[in-house]
A and B are shown apart, each in its own frame.
Chain A
Amino acid sequence: DAGVIQSPRHEVTEMGQEVTLRCKPISGHNSLFWYRQTMMRGLELLIYFNNNVPIDDSGMPEDRFSAKMPNASFSTLKIQPSEPRDSAVYFCASSLNRGNTEAFFGQGTRLTVV
């Protein structure tokens, strides 16, 4: 298996623009997580899905952030409108199921908002 695949690897956008990050989890994994990593706050869980259903989005910073999982093999994290403080590395991770604790991470998307 290719592992968790994220795209793009790097994104530079202007403040106010919409940004969409994409993730393909490992085939057969039923849980998907979105994390954000910054120097100041470390790795923060934004939202996670189980069987394509959002379970906990309490980590989503504000209404500008939204995430969807239309099917078992695809998820998006959207920021609209983007702001400079959203600059970070965004990781997607997946695990076998809700009770399985071993999460496997993608390579991340480095987002820079100027």
Chain B
Amino acid sequence: GQQLNQSPQSMFIQEGEDVSMNCTSSSIFNTWLWYKQDPGEGPVLLIALYKAGELTSNGRLTAQFGITRKDSFLNISASIPSDVGIYFCAGHNTDKLIFGTGTRLQVFP
């Protein structure tokens, strides 16, 4: 099935560093969402974006809906150990949520 391309695939950073990841698609989406998945759990919604150009924050997380509607970015500031996990972007068009390939984040103390 269709998937969105996320980069980087994995990141290894030190506690306190900022993190940036992005998601690109060849298709236009009307909504972008970012999820985090902890080991053994289902994805949990972090941020939802509904308009091109929109910039939204949720605590230390900031996400943007790209102007072209074909990409989105997620930034995490001042990372902490509990930020460890896999981050997925998801694009929504018509009735379906299409998920990205994921970015695995590892935070070292």
Contacts and interface: CB of A to CB of B under 8 A. Distances in A.
B96 A56 contact: yes
A32 to B, nearest CB: 12
Given A102-B45, A105-B42, A42 B101 contact: yes
B31 interface: yes
Interface in A57-91: 59, 91
B98 interface: yes
Given A101-B31, A101-B33, A102-B33, A45 B98 contact: yes
Given A42-B99, A55-B95, A105 B44 contact: yes
A4 B42 CA distance: 10
A31 B99 CA distance: 17
Nearest to B42: A105
A49 to B, nearest CB: 10
B97 A103 contact: yes
Contacts of A41: 1
Contacts of B88: 43
| Majority SS at the chain A contact face | strand
Q: For the side of the interface on A, what is the size category?
A: 20 to 34
Interface string B28-61: 0011010100001111110010000000000000
A101 B92 contact: yes
A48 interface: yes
Contacts of A102: 33, 45, 48
B35 to A, nearest CB: 8
A105 B96 contact: no
Given A101-B31, A108-B42, 4 more contacts: A41-B1, A42-B3, A48-B96, A101-B33
22 contacts: A31-B95, A33-B97, A42-B3, A42-B100, A42-B101, A43-B43, A43-B99, A45-B96, A48-B95, A48-B96, A55-B95, A91-B42, A93-B42, A101-B31, A101-B92, A101-B97, A102-B33, A103-B45, A105-B42, A106-B42, A107-B40, A107-B41
